[in-house]
Structures are given as structure tokens and as C-alpha cells.
Chain A
């Protein structure tokens, strides 16, 4: 079985987001980049399936050279090799086209992604890739088992979940608790250095959206404190002042 895991290199979840160049560029200064947390779940499950069923796991990223530490970390966690499309990920359609191009050349049984990136929060790359390859896409998947050529999954829906069966190949957007995040061990880190990382040029240049500018939210006004022994006045304020109940 061949598994492709698509990963993003994104600002750590604790990053204070700022912009430069008159609010047209994300300010990377001092920012710690990590594997997208959802992508990390996808990778962890891929490595578990490899251990259980003997699959090969390829990590895939569309990004510039500064994404390589994240890619190496994925290799250290247990992926076998990696492909980086050397381009700025301009938008979701562009990224999806790169994934589809690679998957057309080498068919994968499973293309695992995160449910969404934590920078643009699009939640769309898996659906577009599924459409471009003419195969089903399912997200957010919180449980995945493989039985021969059948995938058995649990997907979260509003207010609940559903169990789904489908034939491979599939594109899945993953989220917890599909697997536990994995931390690379020393041996993994050593072997990751020599695992193959192929750099390819982008196929196609379709970007259908661009960001003209960014903006930060206005700070919330100051908090109004209510003494605990007068807690009930909160309810009055919510009705008369905030007018939300």
C-alpha cells in the first residue's frame, strides 16, 4: 500500500500574528514553524498503518526551502521519503493541482491530509484533489482502518459522527483522535537525514485567488468584572446592556 501524506509548514499555534509591508505580507520574523497539527494526526496514522500493514509513506509539501525542517521532522517520525514542490503555495487550487499531478504519476492508495491548514483554514485542498483525481474525499475523519482494499472510517458530523466504508483510493482530511501525535526519537532523527527528499518544479500555475491585504482584529474592549456574590446581575447585563439574551 502506498500512502501520500500532505503536510503544511505553519506558524506555531501560540504565534502572535503580525504583518509587514503595509499589511500585505505575513511577518515571519521570530516565528516558529511547525507541522500543521491536523497534518500531524494524518502522518501519525499513516506511520501506524505502515507498522501494521507494511505500507510506504511519502511526505508531500508545496513550499519553499524553509519548509524543509518540517519535512525532515516528518521523515524522523517514520515517513520513508519526501517530495517538495518548490513553490510558494499561492492558493488552495494551486496546491491541489500539485498534489493531483504527483498522484497521477504515481498512484497512491491513500492520500492523507489534515482537515484544514491552520494558516488559511480553508479545509478545501482534499475536496479539490478528490475532484481533480475523480475519487472520493472525506473529511474530517477521526478513525481509519484498512481491511484489504476497503477503508473503514468514522467521520465527524454536526452533533455526532457516522461510520463510512469505501474502496481505495481515497483522499482523507484527518483530525483527532485518528492517532496520537508522534514525537521523533533519536534514531528517527539520525535516519531522517539520509532519507530521500525529492525537489520538483510546480506543474501548472493556476491560482484563482490572491490576498490583497491583511488586517488584525480590533482589540476587545476592557472586561467588566462582576462580584461572584452578585453573579445574577450578569444575566441582567446580558439582556439590557449586551442585548444577547
Chain B
């Protein structure tokens, strides 16, 4: 009856968003009077796996079949479904990510489960199983009643602040059979920015728009991002114009982010842009136009020229470090 959490690896380490998912899952387990089990898929060393205990998992099921080394949403969903069956899990928790989203949907189909996407709070069990989700791209919230026997919760970043203990989780090998039909996609090429902070995972984001005038000017954006250890992002026209790669585009039709800090430089603040960033904790807007709509949604604002303001901010951060 345990609560099952899918914990995603990035280069053999538990992702930060997955640590949050484990902590969230352990809280739900506490509410249900049961324990939390994490499923981890792919190569990772035992000590790393045991750290799931620090965030509240009592047990880790580790599926390490070499066939699973390559990330594969369909096969991974089958592994988690098998784990849910073995553990008799009625609640499955995942952190939202491109992999997590793909798996959640396949899992919902397999387990005929009620899936709550974009969860932003712990469930309310006082009257059924109710959970708050973000809808209309952050413009509203819904209290979803999950009626199915099995419930899947896909949580957004910053849903809960994980607390760590020094507990360790026991690690068990998990070897379900996964059908060949889960291995029919052939990945022929992968391009991934290395060494950068992944935008959906980032606590701090420095984003820039058409006000930067051209891709050759992104140095001042990257400098500030580097000083802050932040990820970089951009508005839609900037990625449409190929000034920046598409995976940096935030908004209604791009990535939705919910970092602690979102700095927007030279972005006007169109409603479709705001939709992707409005769940950020703190928003800073830098724009030379005092009437730019973005100021209405900001916590801090500077009316000024990005070419002067951004380097000043970078210097101030460097001075602080």
C-alpha cells in the first residue's frame, strides 16, 4: 500500500526535482499511514540511491537492466506500473519533466488511474482525495477530485520545500519484464547543452527578449546568469528568430517555469509570456519603457537600458560573492 515515487536520474544522480517528489511522496505516505518507496531506473551507485532516505523514502526499488540505461518513457512507465502492482501502490508521485510527463500519461493509461497534472500542493484527504493543480497556464487553480482507485500526481517545481534528515533508504534490485514493444523508438541523435543549468530545474532564471536587439548581445545576459548560477531563458520571438535555442523559450507555447527568481530583461510582458512565468516566487523586470505591461506583474522593477543595467547587476552579484 506504499506511496510510490518515480525518482529521475541525471548522470547517475537523483535530480533535485526528484528529491522534492520523494519528500512530497513521503508526506502523502504519512497522511495515509504508510511508507514511501522510490523507483529509480538506470545506472546509479548504491550510496547515491540510499540518499533517497534523506528525503523520506524507506525503500528504493532499483531497475538497472542495461536495456534501461537509455532513457525511454514507455519502458520506464512499464517499470513503474510493475512496481505499483508489486507494492500495491494507490498513489504514484512524479516530478514534472519531459520524461516525467510522458511517463505519467502512459501510466495513467496502463493503471486506469486518475492523473493530476501540475500539482502545486499536498492533497486534502478530508473529503475524498482532492489536490490543487494549476490550470489555464497558471492563470487559475483547480481543486481536482481524483476518483479512480489509483492516483497519479505530477508535481510542479517548488510545490514543497524538502527537509532532509540523515536517514538512508534500503535498496532492492527490481527486475520486471518489459515488453519489446516498449523499445521500438530509435533515437538517432541527441543534442544536449552540457554544463548548463537546466531551465525547468533552475531556482534562478535570467530571461531576455527582443529588447536585446540581437543574438550577439546575449553576453550580458549570460554573464549575469553565470554570476547568479542561474539558467538563461528567452521570449518566443527570440527563439522564433533563432537568436536562442527553442528549449529556452518560456511562455504559453514554451516552457513553464516556477523558479524562486525570474529576471526579465527587455521583455514587454505579453499575456502569453506571463502565462509561463507567473508562478515564479519573485519577478524582476528591467525595461526602458515605464509603461511596459510586465511591471504590473513584477515584484521589483527598474526602468532603464538593459545594456547599462545588466552589467551593473552582474558586478553587484560578483561583489557579493
Contacts and interface: CB of A to CB of B under 8 A. Distances in A.
Interface string A196-222: 000000000011111111111100110
B50 interface: no
Nearest to A216: B140
B204 A130 contact: no
B209 to A, nearest CB: 17
Interface residues of B, number: 92
B204 A158 contact: no
A238 interface: yes
Output the residue of B98, B196, B260, B303 with the most chain A CB within 10 A.
B98
Contacts of B101: 123-124, 139
A231 B138 CA distance: 30
B160 interface: no
If over half of B's interface residues share one DSSP class (helix, strand or loop), that class is named, otherwise mixed; here it is mixed
A207 B145 CA distance: 11
A127 B191 CA distance: 24
B316 A231 contact: yes
A227 B286 CA distance: 11
A127 B198 contact: no
Contacts of A223: 285, 295-296, 298-301
Contacts of A38: 253
Contacts of A88: none
A136 B78 CA distance: 13
B106 A127 contact: yes
A128 B114 CA distance: 11
Contacts of A138: 185
A17 B139 contact: yes
Contacts of A217: 138-141, 278
Contacts of A122: 115, 117
Contacts of A163: 187-190
Contact of A176 (B97, B104, B253): B253
Contacts of B297: 220
Interface in A116-133: 118-132
A119 B117 CA distance: 12
Interface in B109-140: 109-110, 112-118, 130, 132, 134-140
Contacts of B110: 131
B206 to A, nearest CB: 11
Contacts, number: 263
A124 B299 contact: no
Interface in B287-313: 295-305, 308-309, 312-313
Contacts of B118: 121
A224 interface: yes
Nearest to B259: A244
Nearest to A210: B145
Contacts of A156: 98, 246-247
Nearest to B304: A228
A28 interface: no
Contacts of B136: 11, 17, 118-119, 121
Contacts of B113: 208
B303 A228 contact: yes
Interface in A11-42: 11, 13-14, 17, 19, 37-38
A216 B117 CA distance: 18
Given A131-B110, A231-B308, 13 more contacts: A92-B115, A118-B137, A119-B135, A124-B104, A130-B109, A137-B105, A157-B190, A159-B198, A162-B191, A208-B108, A209-B145, A225-B303, A227-B302
- Pick the 9 closest A-B CB pairs, nearest first: A127-B105, A131-B109, A228-B304, A160-B192, A232-B316, A208-B114, A124-B105, A208-B148, A235-B316
